Amino acid sequence: MNITEHLNQQLQGRRPGFSLEQIFYADPAVYAHDLDILRQRWFCAGHVSDLPQRGDYITTQLGPDSAIVVRGPNGEVRAFHNVCRHRGSRICLEAQGHAALLVCPYHAWSYDLEGKLKAARQMPETFDASDYSLKPVALKIIEGVIFLSFANQPVDFTLAAPALKNMFGAYGWADAKVAHRALYAVDANWKLAMENYHECYHCTPSHQEFSRLHTLAKPKAQRSESEHILLASAPDCGIEVAEFEAWPVEPDTEELVRVIRSSLYDGTVTGSADGQPVAPLMGDIKAYDGGCSFAELGYLSSFLAYADHGLIYRFIPRGVQRTEIEVIWLVSNDAVEGKDYDLEKLIWLWHVTSLADKKIIEMNQAGVNSSAYEPGPYSLMESGTELYIERYANELAKALKAA
């Protein structure tokens, strides 16, 4: 039996409502299929405030692919494959930088900020530079948040875009700026990181700091009426966010998206050590509403908006059992560090929470790797994770059939 047949058999035999067999978290062949699946989808690459001037760029990776996202001469943002059209070298090597021309470090072919090849030495007369522009990468910007897909024909974003626009817009993210970013390297398969992020079953035992503030840490049945919130929106406070969920039957054709509202405990207005404000209110928000909003896009991007700051979570698969989680903190564009916000206070909650997540995801992988591991049942508080794993299993089954 070859590996494809074996994986097919494992998928067909799997128990719904249970975590995956070890092989899906450990095998290079599965990981290769995973990257193919992820390549078809969209993921968040960052925020446009990282590119204030023309020539500012960021790079971002997914498996073997790398993109340059750069602000062009007229202020527009474009994305290109970070692959030189000469013999294929990476062009930009840094995560972030500034350049008037994108110059390949190998033989110095040079591209303008619109991706056009401007200089290539010693080429034959028949050479036409216009045949060798950088290849574009699909890009969407929603209220300042950058989304990319490495597919030639990415899955449909039609359902996801307005839901995200509504949430990011309500919090003024188009006029936000990156206050801080941190990278947490996690020795685990990307699916274990994703599974962890989509359930709050672990919040009470693993995140005391989060659980003191967020009612999400409690089972639904134990929340009081006021805590139950799915706080409809809070128009009096200037925050109108519609909850939204799109779980297409065919997850490989349409992007998955979910936006939920959630309440904080009484007296808590934001995600900070004491639940008190840590930065000026964002966008047009007039007052704290005692809640927050979560969003998820596809498998790799999650978002959390408080009234005074926001968070972007980027899950970056780096290897079969290696994942980076990048956390980006957003504040209002005109907030000044040291005056309007204290960086340590701003990042405290999600720094301690992310460190704890790193630890538990790695523990999870260690146990999954052992000979005694077998798939276990998801609890009632892990329904989000279960949904993602079901969709993933469907998608992988399709990919294997096509292989």
Provide, rounded to whole angstroms, the least separation between the CB of residue 116 and Fe ion: 45
* 109 contact choice in Fe ion, ligand FES, none (CB below 5 to 8 Å, kind-dependent): ligand FES
Query: Looking at 70-78, 85-93, 162-170, 282-290, which segment touches ligand FES (CB under 6 A)?
Result: 85-93
Q: Which stretch binds ligand FES (CB under 6 A): 106-114, 153-161, 268-276, 312-320?
A: 106-114
* 382 is a contact residue toward Fe ion (CB under 5 A): no
Task: Check binding of 104 to ligand FES (CB under 6 A).
Answer: yes
Choice from 107, 116, 118, 220 touching ligand FES (CB under 6 A): 107
What long-range pairs does 96-102 form, CB within 8 A, spacing at least 24? 96/50, 96/56, 96/57, 96/58, 96/59, 97/56, 97/57, 98/53, 98/55, 98/56, 98/57, 99/55, 99/57, 99/70, 100/55, 102/57, 102/68, 102/70, 102/134
Token pair of 196 as six digits: 């962890």
Q: Tell me the window of 9-17, 138-146, 280-288, 355-363 that interacts with Fe ion (CB under 5 A).
A: 355-363
CA count, 13 A, side-chain hemisphere, 377: 2
Helix-helix angle 3-12:383-402, to 10 degrees: 140
**What is the Cα 219 distance to its own chain's centre?**
25
The CA distance from 293 to 127, in Å, is 53
Q: Between 108 and 403, whose beta carbon lies closer to ligand FES? A: 108
Contact 68, 92 (CB under 8 A): yes
User: How far is residue 317 from each of residues 55, 300, 321, 331, 350, measured CA to CA in Å?
Assistant: 28, 9, 8, 27, 20
- On whether the CB atoms of residues 109 and 116 are closer than 8 A, the answer is no
Provide the 8-state DSSP code for 254: B
Count interface residues toward Fe ion (CB under 5 A): 1
> Among ligand FES, Fe ion, none, what does residue 357 contact (CB within 5–8 Å per kind)?
Fe ion
Does position 89 bind ligand FES by CB under 6 A? yes
* Residue 90 lies near ligand FES (rule: CB under 6 A): no
Q: Does 195 bind Fe ion (CB under 5 A)?
A: no
**Nearest residue by C-beta to Fe ion?**
357
- Minimum Å gap between C-beta 197 and Fe ion is 7
Closer by beta carbon to ligand FES, 131 or else 334: 131
Could you tell me how many residues of this chain bind ligand FES (CB under 6 A)? 10
User: Which residues contact Fe ion by CB under 5 A?
Assistant: 357
User: Which residues contact ligand FES by CB under 6 A?
Assistant: 84, 86-89, 104, 106-109
